[in-house]
Chain A
Amino acid sequence: MNGRPEQFSAQPNELLVERLRDGLGLTGTKVGCDTGQCGTCVVRLDGRSVKSCLVLTASAAGSEVATIEGETTRGGDLTGLQEALRQEHGTQCGFCTPGMVMALGELVESTAGGEAPTEPEIREWLTGNLCRCTGYHSVVRGVQRACAAARAEAPAGAAGPAESAAVAASGAAAQEV
């Protein structure tokens, strides 16, 4: 669990999100629906983002679980993705935010060394996460910014000038309106 072993017994019908929130006090993972639709409960299970309301705790035995609490220390420096989302104000009420950070983290990581995701790819990736405040625009811009930054930092496959300019332009538009 976020890099630390945890040992406990779980009821057969216990959901992972219940264990995280009620059993382990990791309340950064949220519950927004009853049907696996909203994505506020997304965590990473062995590196893959999953909806923890659709995972039985028992079935996660032996797996590595990463939650939003494991991304940074309390009050600590933001990750590159979080910082990019902050610069684009990709959050409002923030209830969907931890789930989005966990889902998008996989996308940003998986593309850091190769091609940056296109706008439709980012939107497609986000379809499992509902947001009612932002309309997703600032979140998509945040991912574009995060990918550009990740690629710029990577020694190989750095972002080309055209891509950087495109991201800068969308950021500038954000500040004008």
Chain B
Amino acid sequence: MTAVTGEAPAAGGGVLGRPLDSREDPQLLRGEATYVADIDLPGTAHMAILGSPVAHARILSIETKAAEQLPGVLKVATAADFTDVMPLPCIWIPGGVESHFPPHPYGLPGARPVLTGDTVRHVGDPIVVVVAETPRQAAAALAAIAVEYEPLPVVTRADEALAEGAPQLHEAVPGNLNAYWTCGDKDRTDAAIAAAEVTVELDLVNQRTINSPIEPRGAVGDYDAATGEYTLYASTQGPHNHRFLLSALVLGIPFNKLRVIAPTVGGSFGTKGYLYPDMALVLLLSKALGRPVKWVDTRTGLMNSTVQGRDHRQHVTLAGTRDGRITAVRCTSYANLGAYPSTIGPGVATALMGRSISGMYDIDAAFCEVYAAFTNTVPLGAQRGSGRAEAAFLMERLVDRYAGEIGMDPAAVRRSNLVPKEKFPYDNGLGWTYDSGNYLLNFDRAIELSGYADMPARKAEARTRGKRLGVGLATYVAICGVGPSTRMSQEGMLGGTWESANIRVHPTGEVTVIVGSASTGQSHGTVFAQVAADELGIDPDTVQVLEGDTQKAPYGQGTYGSRSYSMAAPAVALTARKIKNKLIRAGAVFLGVPEDKVVYEGGRVHEEGNEENGKTFAELAMALWYGWGLPAEIEPALDETTHFDPPDFNYPFGTHVAVVEIDELTGETEVVSYTAVDDAGHIGNPKIVLGQIEGSITHGLGQALMEAAVYDEQGLLVSSDLTRYALPRAADVPFFTLDKTVTPSPHNPLGAKGAGEIATVPPAAAVVNAVVDALSDLGVQHIDMPVTPEKVWRRLRGEAQ
């Protein structure tokens, strides 16, 4: 496949941009990697958590005596044992942080305690912990605990939680409203809609979904009484962030008394960046018992405790002219935050969604308002493509409705409303300024590659086989590189969101790169080695990459929001440039020529015009390690660090085309082809990004076709294991047709944009658009996700949604 770039190739021209094999793979393929469940410290005791079986109730009594007497039980603890422990903080509070010295968010209304003592607010809400000699003994002890509940009324939908007379979750939050948040220009948008030739409206449910990394979460706490230091091993995507949140804000211990180590992490997709009660509990109980304490979640436990995603109910409106010019978009959304504010859930439900709703289109007026409410469900958090997927869904559904209303081809409507290339940087009127883009090139490539023009003939052919073929388009812009700290403070983030890298060149010329980020399966070791090797002109095999241990690595927020390659990798590149500069300055001394006559190329310095007078990288490393003969202004050794805080976010984008066939008899929807053209700027390792794109699309198809967190009227999570929560399996997806465009971001030295999750953003919209297209002659204008065979079958029989 030919890459359509229209842009210059990546800088460096060396090993960066090449599909090197992942150096992490052999260890994973041999089953040798150590995940948190594989950690076995001497003397480890095992923790189990009793979660609430009911969604909303007052706790009248807790009886633990029987459990305490069971064999192997070492400790049974309730909220009463942790009265001096602070509740879990929420560090993304929509609305902005005005002070340079923001208060610690201890007193946040509704914050979750490490154990619940008085009122439980969702099924799975932790009430009692048991520590025993073995996991089976700990689990058995849970069954011997008796808790008496006084049931309270339950609410599981955001819109219903905000209605008058709704059950109240937190005394401190009357009406269950955590935040009312807006962006864009309401008056201008209302006026444009009132004056429009055409308006279309939709009521959308962006259903709650469960990320389901294949590795459940886990944590091991290890307190050292001799030093007073705590070590937490956790399945986390941000060890530094967990250290910050846990030490001062929850445990009340000095920052430097807590070390957090992320071993190999078995996927995350947003969920493992959050602070959970178990992380504090294993540390507290390790101190209490004088032994390491280990906890590993079950799948059902994960479903009932790890943050869930999406969950918006929206009324959306689009206005335009009869000839296809979109003039305004408006969204009113009810976002379901669950029972407690998760670490950054309120920000995900507001800014990440609302500021993206106009997508790749140049629209004069846009407005979004979000009512974020507490309900008796698991707390809301991020999920691969979080916020941006919800935004793309509403906009791309609206564009199809609009195209249908005015009788134009959906592709033609989209094409004529794309932000033109010359308008970048582009202020979208909702608070984002898109850095760079060539949307038309990207869009046209996807249309061509998907064979869009052939669809009428394919539809007719499918009918002869009892199938209805539908085609659906979706475009998107995904804010990535969550990082500019000042910009994030304006969004209400309490904390620096920059990334850092340290490079140490050893005396023998081998290199160690240490980053604050932490992989959850993105082959950081491979890619960051490529970045350093490319800058320094050396063999990537000589570059070691370390991360995931707060005692070793410089500070960094970690891996989320597709930010490692556009935040941590630039820090590596800039640090490598510092190394290179020092080699030039030192080279001038060793070569006996002025600095401006020293050339660095191919991992070597030499005198300009005289390659004979030169030194290799390894020779210079050794010489700087000896430090002999250096002038006072040059320090010995080669060890540099960079803290990278970009000027603004970056904005990858793309166009996806889904083709589905619906079986007339059964209502089953099969994705028969899927074309995606994504633009993530310059890519460090195409093989690794390809895998992320393919996985992302599959994840998005899951939301469209099968995934749903279903709560019943009592607030019980019905879909609480993998027999009742459907994840896409290999037979559910075809091979995809993929290509890319390359529009570098000006906001980092690599020209990188986020990549890891971006392709999760459009598939739900593309598939639902395709299904609606296939059913449009029946008068179907919308169908809610997941598009199950039953729903489609009913629509085929003429039933209303």
Q: What is the interface of chain A, defined by CB distance below 8 A to chain B? A: 21, 25, 27-35, 37-38, 40, 67-69, 71-72, 74-76, 78, 82, 85-87, 89, 91-98, 101, 119-120, 122-124, 126-127, 129-140, 170, 172-177
Contact = CB atoms under 8 A, between A and B. Distances in A.
A35 B740 CA distance: 39
A28 B26 contact: no
Given A28-B30, A124-B730, 15 more contacts: A27-B31, A30-B35, A34-B300, A38-B214, A38-B299, A89-B25, A92-B695, A95-B213, A98-B31, A126-B730, A131-B730, A132-B699, A133-B521, A135-B698, A174-B690
Interface string B243-264: 0000000000000000000001
Contact of A78 (B30, B523, B695, B730): B30
A69 B25 CA distance: 15
A38 B214 CA distance: 8
Nearest to A81: B29
Interface stretch (B79-87, B598-606, B719-727): B719-727
A93 B722 CA distance: 19
A135 B730 CA distance: 7
Given A38-B214, A130-B722, A132-B727, A177 B740 contact: yes
Contacts of B729: 126-127, 130, 136
Interface in B1-29: 1-3, 19, 21-22, 24-29
B298 A91 contact: no
Given A132-B699, A137-B736, A176-B1, A74 B694 contact: no
Interface of B: 1-3, 19, 21-22, 24-35, 37-38, 40, 211-216, 264-269, 296, 298-300, 520-523, 686-699, 721-723, 727-731, 733, 735-736, 738-740
B31 A28 contact: yes
Contacts of A34: 298-300, 721
A85 B1 contact: no
Contacts of A135: 694-699, 728, 733
A32 B216 CA distance: 6
A92 B31 contact: no
A93 B215 contact: yes
Nearest to B690: A177
A92 B695 CA distance: 10
Contacts, number: 213
Contacts of A176: 1-3, 686, 739
A138 to B, nearest CB: 5
The A contact surface, by secondary structure, is loop
A127 B266 contact: no
A97 B691 contact: no
Contacts of A21: 37-38
A120 B738 CA distance: 20
B19 A174 contact: yes
Nearest to A92: B521
23 contacts: A30-B35, A30-B215, A76-B30, A82-B26, A85-B25, A93-B264, A94-B29, A94-B521, A96-B214, A97-B29, A98-B29, A122-B730, A130-B722, A130-B729, A131-B695, A132-B214, A133-B214, A135-B695, A137-B735, A170-B735, A172-B1, A175-B687, A175-B690
B299 A33 contact: yes
**6 closest residue pairs by CB, A with B:** A28-B31, A93-B521, A94-B28, A135-B698, A95-B266, A68-B31
B152 to A, nearest CB: 29
B470 to A, nearest CB: 22
B266 A93 contact: yes
Contact of B29 (A29, A35, A86, A137): A86
